[in-house]
Structure 1
Amino acid sequence: MSGRPDSDTGPDTADSEAAADQDESHDLLDESDKPLNEPDDLLDEPDDLLDESGGPLEDARRARWTAVGTGTALTLAGLAAALLRLTRSAPALVPAAYAAGAAVCAAASVLGSRGRTRRALWLLIAGVMVMALGDQFD
């Protein structure tokens, strides 16, 4: 059985069944279960979905700020290390590796600000690895 109504059901029966279903669904709605009509309703969350940190929106916002802050700090550290290695007698590969790692961390910071925090995390790891690899040539 497919669950579809029989084809020989008259139009008066089908209409009365649809009206009865609509009346039942209307009776089940109360003030707390009203349908979402406005865009602001999407931002309202029931209290049972909120955790102690403020909910999923707050977690996403915190992850973005963490990715941006970490990416910026690692970018500045990589650029400072590249400038310090340029002033000393080190192979040219060392400051280039620090600068490349800083560029990757800057890209991670941009991705983090746009909400791509997982990709930003992996780019931060890759940037630090490039800087560490460049340090091994010194």
Structure 2
Amino acid sequence: MSGRTDSDTQDDIRVDAMDDQETRGQAPQDPETDEQPESDEEHGTEDARRARWTATGTGALLALAGLAAAVLRLSGSAPALVPAAYALGAAVCALAAVLGSQGRTRRALWLLIAGVMIMAVGDQSD
């Protein structure tokens, strides 16, 4: 044990590994973090598909819940504004579901928020 570190051999190993990856068509690893950089092509389509399904499913579920609440409030003794607010909120959430299925997930998210807020304001006026 001479106390000498093997840092100079580690650099040679890293350079050889980077050369091997470049010849195989892979992106070289960052020698500082030793992590493989992620490409947008690899995860982009799966993430987009998941976002579309989430926006569509959430919008449809909230639309059905809003319509059910509107029907229940309509049959009760609530003021007319309450079922109208639930129905309007359900319509906004249904529009968000349609936009989400077309890939407009950011707009769908904001419409979902607006639809739930409309339903909440209508419930508070009861």
> Could you tell me the TM-score, scaled by structure 2's length?
0.69
Deviation at 1:31, TM superposition (A): 9.4
Which residue is 2:39 aligned to?
49
Distance in 2 (CA, whole Å) between partners of 1:132 and 1:50 is 38
Provide structure 2 residue ranges, at least 5 long, that are not aligned to the other structure. 1-22, 26-36
Distance in 2 (CA, whole Å) between partners of 1:59 and 1:66 is 10
Superposed structure 1 runs of 4+ greater than 2 Å apart: none
List aligned pairs for 1:102-121, cutoff 5 A.
102-121=90-109
Which residue is 1:35 aligned to?
none
Is residue 79 from structure 1 mapped to residue 54 from structure 2 by the alignment? no
What letter corresponds to residue 120 of structure 2 in structure 1? Answer: A
Change beyond 3 A, Cα 1:48–1:123? closer
Distance in 2 (CA, whole Å) between partners of 1:31 and 1:75 is 50
Distance in 2 (CA, whole Å) between partners of 1:85 and 1:122 is 26
Distance in 2 (CA, whole Å) between partners of 1:68 and 1:61 is 11
Is residue 61 from structure 1 mapped to residue 49 from structure 2 by the alignment? yes
Q: Which structure has the larger Rg?
A: 1
Number of residue pairs matched by the alignment: 93
Paired-residue identity, %: 72
Distance in 2 (CA, whole Å) between partners of 1:56 and 1:116 is 15
CA-to-aligned-CA distance 1:39-73 (integer Å, 9 cap, x gap): xxxxxxxx95269xx61110000000000000000
> Could you tell me the TM-score, scaled by structure 1's length?
0.63
Look up the SS of the partner of 1:56 in the other structure. helix
Provide structure 1 residue ranges, at least 5 long, that are not aligned to the other structure. 1-29, 33-46
What letter corresponds to residue 49 of structure 1 in structure 2? Answer: S
Which residue is 1:4 aligned to?
none
